[in-house]
């Protein structure tokens, strides 16, 4: 079995995708627990303009979701036979050291 650089890029992209997914899940769980504790309405709580206390975390959650979408788009490009090894996000994922988010329990969901 031979593995080419494009396949290695996919492996790095998918590894990053699942790390980000775990970060998103941890962050979302913390935000949702805080929302329930505050008894705040969903729309108001998750609006960073009206929730200064959690604005940074809400924006981080949105940014991580965007990254997940971009990573999955790269995987779809690879699946259609495209070359992803030179894409900036794939290069970044390939170069990144795998360091999980502090509170993350890795899963294969």
Tokens 């309405």 map to which residue? Answer: 41
CA dihedral 83, 62, 56, 33 (to 10 degrees): -130
pLDDT in tens, 3-24: 788 999 999 999 999 999 999 9
pLDDT in tens, 30-79: 999 999 999 999 999 999 999 999 999 999 999 999 999 999 999 999 99
SS3 (DSSP) at 54: coil
């Amino acid at each position: 079995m031979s593995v080419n650089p494009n396949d290695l890029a996919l492996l790095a992209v998918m590894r990053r995708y699942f790390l980000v997914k775990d970060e998103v899940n941890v962050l979302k769980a913390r935000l949702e627990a805080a929302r329930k504790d505050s008894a705040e309405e969903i729309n108001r709580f998750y609006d960073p303009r009206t929730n200064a206390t959690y604005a940074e975390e809400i924006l981080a959650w949105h940014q991580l979701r965007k990254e997940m979408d971009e990573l999955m788009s790269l995987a779809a490009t690879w699946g259609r036979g495209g070359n992803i090894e030179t894409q900036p996000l794939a290069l970044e994922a390939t170069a990144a050291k795998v360091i999980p988010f502090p509170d993350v329990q890795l899963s294969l969901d």
